Amino acid sequence: RVCFAASMASPSSPLVLRLLAASASVSRRAGSIIRDISTRKDVGIVLKGGRSDDPQTEADRTAQRCIISSLKHQFPSVTIIGEEDIENTPDQSLLHTDLDEDILKHTLPDNLQADGSDVVVWVDPLDGTSEFTAGFWNNVTVLIGIAVRGEAACGVIHQPFFGMSPDNPNPSSPPGRTCWGIKGVGAYGFSYTAPSDPARRSIASTRTHSTVLVKDTIEALKPTEQVHVGGAGCKVLMLLEGQVDVYAFASPGTSKWDTCAGQAMLEAVGGQLTDISGNRYRYTGDVRKKNTRGVLATLKADHAELVGLVPDSVKLGLSN
pLDDT in tens, 77-112: 999 999 887 776 777 889 999 999 999 999 999 999
Q: pLDDT band at 5, cuts 50/70/90?
A: very low
Residue bearing the bigger pLDDT, 3 or 209:
209
Measured CA distances, 76 to 65, 154, 255 (Å): 15, 19, 24
Active-site residues, by number, are 60, 129
Question: Is residue 11 over pLDDT 50?
Answer: yes
Run of H or E including 26:
helix 15-38
pLDDT of residue 61: 92
Closest CA to 264 of 49, 112, 85, 130: 112
34-38, 161-165, 196-200, range with the lowest pLDDT = 161-165
Q: pLDDT band at 222, cuts 50/70/90?
A: very high
pLDDT of residue 54: 62
pLDDT of residue 320: 67
Per-residue pLDDT, averaged over 183-198, amounts to 96
Strand ranges inside the chain, DSSP E = 46-47, 55-56, 79-82, 119-127, 141-148, 151-159, 177-182, 186-188, 202-205, 225-228, 246-249, 272-274, 295-298
186-188 and 202-205 as β-strands: parallel, antiparallel, unpaired?
A: unpaired
Question: Is residue 6 over pLDDT 80?
Answer: no
Residue bearing the bigger pLDDT, 228 or 88:
228
Question: Is residue 213 over pLDDT 90?
Answer: yes
Q: How far apart are CA 155 and CA 263, in angstroms?
A: 8
pTM: 0.92
Q: How far apart are CA 45 and CA 43, in angstroms?
A: 6
Closest CA to 180 of 213, 150, 142, 217: 142
Amino acid at 201: R
Q: pLDDT band at 37, cuts 50/70/90?
A: very high
Question: Is residue 26 over pLDDT 60?
Answer: yes
Question: Is residue 7 over pLDDT 60?
Answer: no
Closest CA to 220 of 198, 250, 242: 250
DSSP 168: B
